[in-house]
Structure formats: structure tokens, C-alpha cells
Structure 1
Amino acid sequence: MNDIAELKNFVVAHTRSQGLPAAYYDPLLARIRDDGDGTPGSWVGEWSAEAARLEAEGKLLEASVHHNMARFPFVDGPARRAALERCVAAFDAWRQGFPAIERLDVELPEGRVRCWTTGLDAADPKPLLVMTGGIVSVKEQWAPVLLQLGALGFAGVVTEMPGVGENTLAYRADSWRMYPALLDAVGGRAEVSRTYALALSFSGHLALRAALHDTRIRGVVGAGMPVHDFFTDADWQRTVPRVTTDTLAHLTGAPSEEVYGVLKDWALAPRELGALRVPVAHVTSLRDEIVPPSDAALLRAHVPRVRLLAHDDVHGSPRFFAQTRLWTLLSVLRMRGGHAEQRLALTREFARLRYGGGRA
């Protein structure tokens, strides 16, 4: 059972990233008293009730968002399992109005990776953008971004980390292999030799390691990536919120009290960071309570082609979501090159938000 205070605290970055204003979700959170089995007053119960109301009104994408919040942070029983299924079903119903968004299942010996895609076309293959969230993020919360990619000249794939949502792979030291497997699966319908990864939080760690092994990955853009010290610093690990530790334990299959022992060899060494030959862009939260600030410092010190943006905020920088969204997309376009007009427009909008009109 999760700590309700922690859930209320850490869900904020996810509500804001999906367009839910505090004035809306604060009263809902106030009604939540426990993390029971979906009954009124429980985490799953209150989010699911609001999701059902929105679904009845035909607001399918909004309903999917609320079902996603109900299953947060991970499926730990029948109530959250049902919430995840309803999240996917509501999103699937919503995307019927947008034929450009299609489902893709990649079957691997270790399990299935389920994706939402756009722009995959054997007759006209485009550079590929692969988007992944962190250990508590399902693909449905990022998939609406797919609607923007056609105008930017990308094909797109949105999926989940191993063990998250509908991804049935186990989260292991070699989970980075998921990225090459995805590229192999769409290789006939996208220009996978020009692939860019927009990989947030823990999936950014996987994408960096994948880029060391697969030259088809031409750039990695992330936020809040654990790199080295998160995996090795026992003193820091003792301060990590329980919800993060419990989620990692759930994904790896290790007991919570033993999970950091499992992860200790997953760190990217300075020599590996120095071996990265692709551009890397990273958003750092200066008051991150999950990933130590030393990990961003390692990126700055060792990655040859790195660009960093820092926000004075907690993990996920919820107060700066609009800036992060613009900057990460702009970073992908800078890596890919071309589309000067779109880049200029994004630069100006980022400057307006960040500096009140100064240069980005």
C-alpha cells in the first residue's frame, strides 16, 4: 500500500504535464483519504469516479488521463489493473478520431512492447522519434504528441519502459536492448538510421546506454536522468522517496530493501559517458529529490556534446513544464537539423517563457 502523502506530492508533475490545473485537481486530491481497493475516498476510487464521469460526457482523452492517475504509480492489484485497462481503452477510443495514430505490438522472446505510432510509411520513410517516459509513466500520457510530428517531418513511436503499463518485459540491466528491437521492428517504414530518443527520467538512462551500442540513434534528449550516482550512492538512496523505491522494486522483482543492490552495477561510468558520440540534451531539476544533482554534473563533465537546461524545481520540474516541452522538442530539431522556421518559432516561444523575450 502506498503512502498517500507521497502519492499526492509526486503526482503533481504528471497532472500538470497532462494539462490538469491545480484548481481542478486539488479538490479531488482533498477527497482522497487512503490507498484502498477502489472504494470511495481511496486513490483509485476518486480518480476512477472522475474518469467515469468524463467518459460518460464523451471526453475520452480526459477520461484516459484520469484512469492513468488512478493506476499511478504502478499496478499493485485488481483496482489499479482495471484502471490501466480503462486508461488504454479510453485512449484507444479517442484515437479513433485521429487515424494517423496507430497501434504497434513488438513481440520479443522476453515479452511484448506495445506502442502508439504515427507516420510509419514504407513508401516515404521519415526520421524517427522514439518517446518514452519513466518508471511511473504510461505511453498514453505522451501519445497525443504524435499528432504534432508530421509537420516536423518525423515518424514517431511512443512506448513504455520495461514493466510499465502494457510493456511486459522485465526491467533489467540489459533493458536498453528494447530500443534496437523497436528500430528493427519499424526499419522498413521509417528512416531508423536517423533515430532520436526523447527519453524522460529512467528511460533516459536506457537510451544513453543504447546509444553507446546502436549507431542508428543520432541523439538523446531527456530530463531527470539517473546516470551514475543514483545507482551507487547508498547515502543518497536512503533519502529517495518510498514511492520511487517501491516502484523500482516492483519493476525489477526485487524486495524494496534489496533493490539498490540489484541496481548498483547499472551505472554509466565516466568513460562510457565520454564515449558517447551523439548530442545529448538534458533538463535538470535543481531540487530533484529522486536523482542526485551530481548525475547532471557528470553529464556536463564527461559527455562531449551535451546541452543542459536547469530549473529551480523538484523532480520533473512541474512548474516549468511548458518550458521543458518546448526546449526538449527544440533540442530534437537542433540535432536533426533543417526546419529552420519551426526551430525559430520554438526558440522565440521558449525565450518568451524563459526570459520574457530574451534569447534562448
Structure 2
Amino acid sequence: MFTFPVEPDDLLDERTRQFVALGIPRPVVDRARARITDMWGTGAGSWVPVWAAEAERAHASGDPLLASLCWGAARFPCLATDDRRAAQEHQLAAYLEAAPRFPVRFQRAVLNVPEPVPVHFFQRRRRGRGRSARPGVIVLCGGVDTWKMDLHRLAVATARATGLLVAAVDMPGTGESTVPLAPDADRILVGLVSQLRRAHGQPVGFYGISFGAHWAAKLALAGHVDAAVDLGGPTGLTDEPVDLLNLPYGMPGIVGNALHVDEMPDQSTIADLLAGFSLREQGLLDKAGAESSPLLVINGADDVYVPRGDIVGLAGRPETTVWVIKDAGHCAPERSSQVNLALWGWLAARLAPGRPLPRLVEIAARQPLRPFLGEGSAGQYA
């Protein structure tokens, strides 16, 4: 693990919207930003101490969930320092303290697949009789810097909106994962999906965000899941390679830490590392056919991280739908409410088989998104 050059003010320019969307009130973010002067140090104006103070303030006021989110901001963007690793431990402790008040049923488990994978389960509270059937399962996975506890709001909303059992996990190389990010790290996720399918006896899908969406596409093309959503995932399908070392906001260092390397890779090393992730080079596009699973691919048309070809290049594959969102960036946060409503309908229709209602819900849920679909959108109901 290593630190790397990044200006905290620049990082907050880019991430303030995200922190607020995850559940940290804007005044808290603004207060922290006004005090932060250094990214990696330990002084009073350094990133971790400032966010730690906000976490402790939230905890003292009786809000352990907000404390957990602030500890999550403290450990951001990666576990490159001792105080960030400690912040993640505080985040988990505060999160579990907050869990009894969650508006859904919650359970934490560590599944061996065979590597240990901590999983957070969320399920809608069921009312009345005749609704005891086991729901389908959706694995929720974030990217290189936004992890399962950070995605609490999305996990709860997905469980409540779809009725599915949400299993939130950290992507390999991040969070509580014990293995580095690597082209074959999908073996962990394949093992997890298989174990969930055996345990629950229901269809299992995968909802991946940012780099986590890379695995959504891979698992769907290989037929390991019953359905998958790729929201902003790099796939290596385009002839335009991702110039990782020139990506903004510290992304080269963030990815390098997920790869578990000890220093910033040089250009040739990083090119070799990234080439291994290409789904085209792995032959998955050639193999994808009858065994492929339904795949929904979504991203903003103006993503600065992932080439558009990585998204639209999947159009035309069996059972693949592509939504390109106009005037939106990486993972289309500008239209998150419309995107999530539409993809929840899409997931419910595929992971709750034998029920006519989810298909109708899918059609209705997609309507608010239609005006924002841009060039490159393709497939059923695009």
C-alpha cells in the first residue's frame, strides 16, 4: 500500500456530491472541507483527523449511522495509512451499532468461498400472511473506493424497492477483502454466487457499480449469474485504452492500492496489469452465446474514466440492453433517481420469476428514464 499525490480540495470538488448522496449532510461535508488542508498527514487539518472529529460528533449526538458514514469518509479513498485502517474498524463498529435501527432486516455474515468474504444482508420486512416465499438475491458491489458500508442507502433502497435479498460485498482488493484486485478475482464472486444460490434456492443476480460493474459484465457473459447490472464498469472492449496514469483525482493511486502493489506502477507495468482485465482479450465476447445471462449496461455519455466504447461495445450481445445517459458522467449520478428506479424494475422482473407483476413494474419504472437515453442505447426496452 502507498500514498500518492492528490489535492484534498480537488478531491472534494469531485466527491462532495457523492458524499452527500451516500448520506452525509452537506453542512457536515462543508464543515470538514473548510478544515482539511492535507491528505495524508496526521495533524489537526489532515483528512483523517478532521473526518474522525465529525464521526465522533455524530456519535455523541446519538447518530451511529452518520458516524459510520463519516468514518467511511475518513478512510477514503483507500487503506494506505494506519489511521485509515483504524478508521475502517471504527466504521464497522459504528455501523453494527446502528444496525438495530435499520428499516430493513439486517445480518452480517462471513462466508468462506473459500476465502473469507464478509457479507451484509438486507431484506424488506414482510407484512401479513402468504408472503413467506424466499426472495431472489442480488449481490451489490461498489468500486475501488466506495465500499459496502458506504453504499448503505442504496442497499436499503434496493431491498425495499425490489423485495430482493441484497447481499452487499466489497470488491476484491478493497474494504474487508483479503485478496488483491486481479483479472481472475471473479473466482471469489463466482464462489459467492454459487454459495448464495445453494443457501437460498433462488435466482442470484449481481449489481456492480464503477469497477465493481466490470465483474457484473464478466459474470453475466460467462453465465454465472441469473441477471446482472453493469453501472459504469470498465470492460476493455474498446480500442481506446484507459490511460490510468493520467486519470484525475488520484485514481491511479486508488487503483494501484486495490492491486496491492507497493508503489505507483510505471506506464508499461500498468498497461500490462490493465490488459489482463479486458473481457475481449479473455475471449468472453467470442464465447458469449446461449449461456450468457441477461445484462443491463448503464453509464453516462460524458464519463471521464471509462471510454464509451466499453459500454456500447456490449450492445448486440444476447439478452443485453445498453442505456447511455445524456449529459451525465461516470455512473450517471446526475440521473441516479431515474436510473435506479428503472434498474430496480429490470432486476425485479428477472430475479422474481413466475410473477407477472414485476414485468409490469419494469415497464412503468423505465418511463421516467426514457427522455434521458442518448445515442448508443440499445436492446430490449431501450
Query: Scaled by the length of structure 2, what TM-score is found?
Result: 0.81
* CA spacing shift, 1:16–1:279, aligned 2, 3 Å: farther
Is 1:225 matched with 2:233? yes
Partner Cα separation in structure 2 for residue 76 and residue 143 of structure 1: 23
- Structure 1 pair 352–29 and aligned structure 2 pair: CA distance change class (3 A): farther
Change (3 A) 1:326 1:119: closer
The alpha carbon displacement at 1:144 in A equals: 4.4
Could you tell me how far 1:269 is from its partner in structure 2? 1.1
Q: Contact between 2:314 and 2:320, CA under 8 Å: does it hold in 1?
A: no
| Distance (whole Å) between structure 2 residues aligned to residue 353 and residue 30 of structure 1 | 38
Structure 2 residue ranges without an equivalent (≥5): 125-131, 374-380
Displacement, 1:229? 5.1
| Correspondence for 1:127 among 119, 123, 136 | 136
- Quick check: 1:252 aligned with 2:256? no
CA distance in 2, matches of 1:248, 1:303: 31
In terms of mean alpha carbon deviation, does 46-55 or 301-310 score higher?
301-310
**Which residue in the other structure is 2:108 paired with?**
103
CA separation of 1:172 and 1:286: change in aligned 2, threshold 3 A: same
Deviates most, 73-82 or 312-321: 312-321
Q: CA deviation at 1:119?
A: 4.7
Q: Letter of the 1:139 partner, please give it.
A: K
Q: Which residue does the alignment assign to 1:306? A: 321
Q: Quick check: 1:323–1:353 contact (8 Å CA) kept in 2?
A: no
Q: For the residues of structure 2 that align with 1:93 and 1:198, how far apart are their CA atoms?
A: 26
In structure 2, the residue matched to 1:197 is 206
Aligned-partner Cα distance in 2 for 1:58–1:269:
50
Q: Residues 19 and 260 (structure 1 numbering): CA distance in 2 closer, same or farther, change over 3 Å? A: same
User: Could you tell me how far 1:91 is from its partner in structure 2?
Assistant: 0.8
What are the equivalent positions in structure 2 for 1:165-176 lying under 5 Å apart?
165-176=175-186
Find out whether 1:209 has 2:218 as its counterpart: yes
Are residue 142 (structure 1) and residue 151 (structure 2) matched?
A: yes
| Alignment match, 2:285 | 273
Judge conservation of contact 2:23–2:66 (CA < 8 Å) in 1. Answer: no
Say whether 1:183 aligns with 2:193: yes
Superposed counterparts of 1:36-51, under 5 Å: 36-51=40-55
Whether contact under 8 Å (2:144, 2:171) holds in the other structure is: yes
> Cα distance, 1:195 vs. partner?
1.2
In the superposition, relative to structure 1, how do residues 298 and 92 fare at CA in structure 2: closer, same or farther (>3 Å)? same
Aligned partners of 2:237 and 2:280 also within 8 Å: no
* Alignment RMSD (CA, Å): 3.0
How far apart are the structure 2 equivalents of 1:314 and 1:156?
Answer: 26
Number of positions where the alignment pairs a residue of Structure 1 with one of Structure 2: 350
**Alignment-mate amino acid for residue 280 of structure 2:** A
Distance (Å, rounded) in 2 between the aligned partners of 1:152 and 1:253 = 35
| Contact 1:6-1:243 at 8 Å conserved across structures | no
| Native 8 Å contact 1:64 1:86 kept in 2 | yes
Aligned pair 1:55/2:56, yes or no?
Answer: no
- Cα gap change, 1:308 to 1:117, in 2 (>3 Å): same
CA gap of 1:5–1:317, structure 2 versus 1, over 3 A, is farther
Alpha carbons 1:252, 1:259 under 8 Å: kept? no
Q: 1:69 aligns with which of 30, 48, 73?
A: 73
Does the 8 Å contact 2:297/2:320 carry over to 1? no
Query: Structure 1 227/112 Cα, relative in aligned 2: closer, same or farther at 3 Å?
Result: same
Query: Could you tell me which residue of structure 2 aligns to residue 328 of structure 1?
Result: 343
Matched position secondary structure for 2:226: strand
Normalising by structure 1, what TM-score? Answer: 0.85
